[in-house]
C-alpha cells in the first residue's frame, strides 16, 4: 500500500470535489491524498472524429506529470468525455505499470434519460469511480459483488448501485482489515 495518493484536476474543477475524492480514497484504502497543481484540459488527447478524449493518451501524460511525487499513484480528474478504441466511452481508466489513473465526470453528470443529477449524487458517483480506478492501480480486478466499488459499471445506474467502499474479498486481497 502506498503512503499516499496524488490527485490532480485536468481542467477547471472545484477544489472541494478533489477533497471529496481524497476523502473517499482515504476511507477505502487508508493513505491520505495530496492535491497537486491543476493542469489544463487534455486537448492533446482529443479525437475529432469521436468528439471525445482518448483516456490512454491522458494516462501517458499523467505518468510523467511534472511535480508528481515518485512512486505515488496519481489520479487525474476531468470533465471531458473519455474513450478507449473498443468502447463507446469509459468512466475512467488505470495503468498499473505507470501508477496513473483518470476518471471523468462527463458521463456521471446525467441520468440515462439525459437529466442532470443533483450535486450530491454526482459527488458520490465520482468518489465511487475514483475508488474503482485506484483499486486497479493497487492490483484489484473487477468484482462480482454489485455493491463493491470494484464492480464494473457500464452505466451511471450501475455506479449508483455500488457502495463507496470495497467488499470483504477485495479488502482482503489488499491486506486491509
Cite the active site residues: 133
Instruction: Specify whether the CB–CB gap between 53 and 81 falls below 8 A.
Output: yes
List, in order, residues 6 or more apart from 129 with CB less than 8 Å away.
91, 92, 103, 108, 153, 159
| β-bridge partners, 87 | none
The residue with cell 486481497 is 173
Instruction: Specify whether the CB–CB gap between 65 and 101 falls below 8 A.
Output: no
Write the DSSP symbol of residue 68.
Answer: P
Spatial separation of the C-alpha atoms in residues 162 and 143, rounded to whole Å = 11
Half-sphere exposure of 29 (CA within 13 A, CB side): 31
Amino acid at each position: 500500500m502506498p503512503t499516499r495518493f496524488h490527485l490532480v484536476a485536468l481542467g477547471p474543477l472545484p477544489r472541494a470535489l478533489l477533497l471529496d475524492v481524497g476523502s473517499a480514497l482515504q476511507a477505502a484504502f487508508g493513505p491520505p491524498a495530496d492535491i497537486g497543481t491543476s493542469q489544463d484540459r487534455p486537448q492533446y488527447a482529443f479525437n475529432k472524429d469521436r468528439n471525445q478524449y482518448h483516456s490512454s493518451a491522458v494516462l501517458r501524460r499523467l505518468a510523467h506529470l511534472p511535480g508528481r511525487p515518485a512512486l505515488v499513484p496519481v489520479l487525474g480528474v476531468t470533465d471531458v468525455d473519455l474513450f478507449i478504441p473498443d468502447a463507446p466511452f469509459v468512466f475512467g481508466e488505470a495503468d498499473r505499470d505507470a501508477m496513473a489513473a483518470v476518471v471523468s465526470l462527463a458521463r456521471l453528470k446525467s441520468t440515462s434519460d439525459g437529466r442532470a443529477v443533483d450535486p450530491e449524487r454526482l459527488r458520490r458517483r465520482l468518489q465511487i469511480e475514483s475508488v474503482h480506478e485506484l483499486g486497479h492501480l493497487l492490483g484489484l480486478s473487477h468484482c462480482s459483488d454489485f455493491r463493491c466499488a470494484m464492480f464494473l459499471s457500464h452505466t451511471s445506474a450501475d455506479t449508483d448501485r455500488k457502495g463507496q467502499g470495497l467488499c470483504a474479498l477485495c479488502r482482503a486481497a489488499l491486506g486491509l482489515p
